[in-house]
């Protein structure tokens, strides 16, 4: 997100009776900004005459009129007057150097390298490695942590989640020369090639999705800026309205923890507090007595997002801010090792979204289209959302707006949608804060309302995000390290809605309802605590009972192979032991369970397997696996049999469809569930041409179906699939 004078986000405040989530912004509220009656924004007069000495970043919140020393006092202008003096010290830096070892204690220093710092618990995190000759965390070997090794008094492994704003997945390729600490965490722990953000790939929606496991349409934070027609209010980064609880739906992890008696530390710090200070504070909280110590912590870094916007994601100058972030992560890991907690604490490092190239020369302007732009309000940028300027307008019609923006320019760089017509994979329609008209932007392009009156002399940005979350540049990172994660494990990519359940499992919490699939990421955990149960199958497959049928052509089917009766029967004769070896190829996840009363049997083929219903005379499901191959060339069809459909000798005519039935119905045709284009042998092509591999389709749908199959086949031939992908087609 763009960070001028504003920043981020969600904090958990602990008092005997309340836990709160807030968003921070550095500038003062705009004039005339009145809080609604529902707001929890603190407006009482607060004295600043107290002191923060010995109280810096305390976990409790002091009620007005007392002044505060917690993380949010800057948000509410309620800090004690000496907060900066005592709590934001930077003198001496945040690390020990050889010349500082054994120094006299200086209370103005941010952290200490004196002989008594270990006893007092305020050493710089690299004190032991620099001053006592111990190996720093990053220089040590990868060690498999068999089980959590926690000091006495720890009732569970603490969890630290560190989120890096705008950390594009491809930044990981920079390796240990730029990001050695992140590289080691990834190498020694559990990671995925990338993690997919939710749409829109903006900061606020994704951070709150990480915290709740909900899609934005479900938790309500549908953008960094949004308007609620019922509240008649606008949420944005620059106003105090974002502090109003009414915007925030769902149950974030810190509330889940609080409700189940687990203390949480601060979530997502304001930018005015240096990142190094945030890390040192987390480490100091781990020193707290057993009855005060939180077990779930989170830190948010505004980098590398700021420099990604300013420089662009491909700039070599981005290496320096990445090194700085990595060094601070190293400070955290050194601090954990120094406290003997590096085999106790679980650490999760994530990004909220990626970063794409952008430039002022790649902006579309709505006044170039046949719209009355004076009558609309646009939320601009890497996605466009349009609503009427006058909410009571009788002339505004979303359908007309979409029509006037559809295919109007030969080089148009966006596609307009009514929100209910957006791709369902985006999960971005079911919320009143999502405008009726949505512009899905092409990568690298932005939308604005009106062409500037004066031409730009310079462009202030070279990167942006918010685009379709399937775009590779929007991908971000996931790394898990600690006693609960598997050692040197790589898991497939996943969507960030899944992490809430994982965090709950790590903390021993019962998750609140969410959009994730609990247990879907069990493979990354050494000892998963949740094991999904499957419903008991209603109808198992029956033995094939039509095997004695003779091949007949009474179904109106015709092929060149129709006279190869003995060869056809031999092809479908069971093996000597009566079994087929299909479990590891065609059904890698097991056979689909049929959850209703019916009669069906399994039909085995060279490259697929079907669950065939005699009652319906067609497959209930067909399953097959497409393997990545350097040369996946389909067997060519002979021109006389392009539309060939074969009779299946295993199924009687009474339980089979008929080719003549299709030929007599001009409104209906057949389609193949296992497409012949996927066949890699002559035997497989024969299997694919069987009438038991067909289902009825309308011609219009068949065109879509055929296009889908051909596109998938082409993708596999090009080697785009990184893993074997089981495909299952259901009726």
Q: Diameter of the chain by CA atoms?
A: 100
Give the tokens for residue 10. 């969600």
Strands (E), 525-613: 600-604, 609-613
- The structure tokens listed for 559 are 């092929």
Nearest alpha carbon to residue 76 among 8, 24, 34: 24
C-alpha separations of 202 from 6, 172, 442 in Å: 15, 20, 16
* DSSP assignment string, 664-701: T-TT-EEEESS-GGG--SHHHHHHHTBGGGEEEE-HHH
Tell me which residue of 378, 380, 428 sits closest to 2, measured CA to CA. 380
- In angstroms, what is the C-alpha Rg of the chain? 31
Q: Look up tokens 């309000």; give the residue.
A: 377
HSE, CB side, 13 Å, CA atoms: give it for residue 652.
10
Euclidean distance between CA atoms 663 and 554, whole angstroms: 14
- CA–CA separation, 71 vs 351, rounded Å? 22
Q: Is the dihedral of CA 295, 296, 300, 304 positive or negative?
A: positive
Distance of CA 171 to the CA centre of its chain: 17
Distance CA 476, CA 349 (A): 10
Catalytic residue list contains 75: no
What does the DSSP 8-state code read for residue 521? Answer: T
Give the sign of the dihedral formed by CA 593, CA 595, CA 601, CA 603.
negative
Beta strands in 431-581 (DSSP E): 437-441, 446-448, 463-464, 478-481, 489-490, 494-495
What's the CA gap between 181 and 200, in Å, rounded?
30
Q: Under a CB-based contact definition with an 8 Å cutoff, are residues 495 and 478 in contact?
A: no
What is the distance, to the nearest Å, from the Cα of residue 135 to the centroid of all Cα atoms in its chain?
Answer: 35
- Per-position DSSP letters for 600-618, written without gaps between them: EEEEE-SS-EEEEETTTTE
Residue 474 phi/psi, 5-degree rounding, is -85, -10
**CA–CA distance, 69 with 47 (Å, rounded to integer):** 12
**What dihedral angle (degrees, nearest 10) is formed by the CA atoms of 610, 611, 617, 618?**
-50
Question: In Å, how far are 230, 617, 628, 695 from 699, measured between CA atoms?
Answer: 45, 20, 31, 12
| Catalytic choice (203, 281, 692, 729) | 203
Q: Supply the DSSP symbol for 566.
A: H
Active site residues: 203
């Amino acid at each position: 997100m763009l960070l001028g004078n504003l920043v981020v986000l969600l904090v958990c405040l602990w008092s005997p009776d309340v836990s709160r989530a807030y968003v921070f912004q550095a500038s003062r509220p705009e004039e005339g900004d009145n809080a609604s009656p529902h707001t929890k924004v603190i407006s009482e007069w607060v004295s600043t005459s107290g002191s923060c000495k010995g109280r810096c970043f305390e976990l409790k919140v002091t009620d007005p009129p007392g002044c505060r020393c917690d993380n949010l006092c800057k948000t509410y202008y309620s800090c004690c007057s000496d907060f900066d003096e005592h709590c934001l010290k930077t003198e001496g830096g945040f690390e020990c150097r050889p010349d500082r070892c054994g120094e006299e204690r200086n209370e103005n220093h941010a952290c200490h390298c004196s002989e008594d710092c270990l006893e007092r618990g305020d050493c710089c995190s690299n004190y032991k490695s620099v001053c006592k000759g111990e190996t720093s965390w990053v220089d040590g070997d990868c060690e498999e942590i068999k089980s959590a090794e926690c000091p006495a008094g720890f009732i569970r492994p603490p969890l630290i989640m560190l989120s890096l704003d705008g950390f594009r997945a491809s930044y990981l390729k920079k390796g240990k020369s730029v990001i050695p600490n992140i590289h080691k965490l990834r190498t020694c722990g559990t990671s995925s090639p990338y993690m997919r953000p939710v749409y829109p790939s903006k900061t606020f929606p994704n951070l709150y999705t990480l915290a709740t496991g909900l899609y934005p349409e479900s938790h309500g934070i549908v953008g960094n800026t949004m308007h609620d027609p019922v509240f008649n209010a606008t949420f944005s980064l620059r106003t105090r309205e974002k502090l109003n609880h009414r915007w925030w739906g769902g149950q974030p992890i810190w509330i889940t923890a609080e409700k189940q008696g687990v203390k949480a530390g601060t979530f997502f710090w304001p930018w005015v507090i240096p990142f190094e200070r945030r890390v040192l504070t987390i480490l100091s909280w781990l020193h707290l007595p057993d009855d005060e110590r939180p077990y779930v912590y989170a830190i948010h870094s505004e980098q590398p997002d700021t420099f990604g916007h300013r420089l662009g994601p491909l700039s070599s100058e981005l290496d320096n801010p990445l090194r700085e972030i990595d060094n601070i992560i190293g400070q955290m890991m050194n601090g954990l090792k120094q406290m003997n907690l590096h085999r106790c604490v679980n650490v999760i490092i994530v990004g909220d979204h990626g970063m794409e190239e952008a430039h002022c020369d790649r902006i579309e302007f709505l006044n170039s289209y046949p719209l009355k732009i004076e009558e609309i309000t646009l939320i601009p940028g890497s996605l466009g959302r349009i609503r009427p300027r006058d909410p009571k307008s009788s002339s505004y019609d979303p359908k007309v707006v979409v029509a006037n923006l559809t295919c109007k320019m030969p080089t148009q760089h966006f596609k307009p949608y009514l929100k209910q017509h957006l791709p369902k994979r985006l999960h971005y329609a079911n919320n009143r804060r999502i405008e009726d008209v949505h512009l899905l932007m092409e990568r690298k392009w932005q939308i604005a309302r009106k062409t500037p009156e004066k031409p730009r002399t310079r462009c202030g940005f070279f990167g942006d995000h918010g685009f379709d979350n399937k775009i590779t540049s929007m991908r971000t990172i996931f790394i898990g390290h600690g006693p609960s994660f598997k050692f040197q494990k790589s898991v497939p990519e996943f969507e960030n809605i899944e992490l809430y359940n994982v965090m709950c499992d790590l903390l021993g919490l019962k998750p609140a309802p969410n959009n994730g699939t609990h247990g879907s990421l069990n493979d990354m955990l050494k000892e998963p605590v949740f094991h999904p149960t499957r419903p008991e199958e209603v109808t198992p497959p029956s033995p094939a009972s039509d095997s004695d049928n003779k091949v007949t052509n009474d179904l109106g089917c015709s092929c060149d192979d129709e006279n190869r009766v003995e060869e056809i029967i031999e092809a479908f004769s069971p093996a000597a032991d009566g079994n087929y070896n299909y479990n590891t190829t065609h059904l890698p996840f097991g056979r689909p369970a049929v959850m209703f009363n019916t009669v069906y049997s399994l039909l085995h083929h060279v490259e697929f397997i079907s669950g065939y219903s005699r009652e319906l005379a067609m497959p209930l499901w067909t399953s097959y696996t497409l393997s990545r191959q350097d040369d996946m060339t389909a067997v060519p069809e002979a021109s006389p049999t392009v539309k060939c459909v074969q009779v299946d000798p295993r199924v009687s005519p009474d339980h089979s469809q008929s080719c003549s039935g299709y030929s007599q119905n001009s409104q209906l045709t057949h389609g193949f569930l296992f497409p012949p284009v996927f066949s890699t042998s002559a035997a497989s092509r024969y299997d694919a041409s069987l009438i038991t591999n067909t289902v009825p389709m309308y011609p219009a749908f068949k065109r879509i179906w055929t296009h889908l199959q051909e596109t998938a086949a082409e993708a596999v031939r090009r080697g785009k699939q990184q893993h074997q992908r089981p495909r299952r087609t259901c009726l």
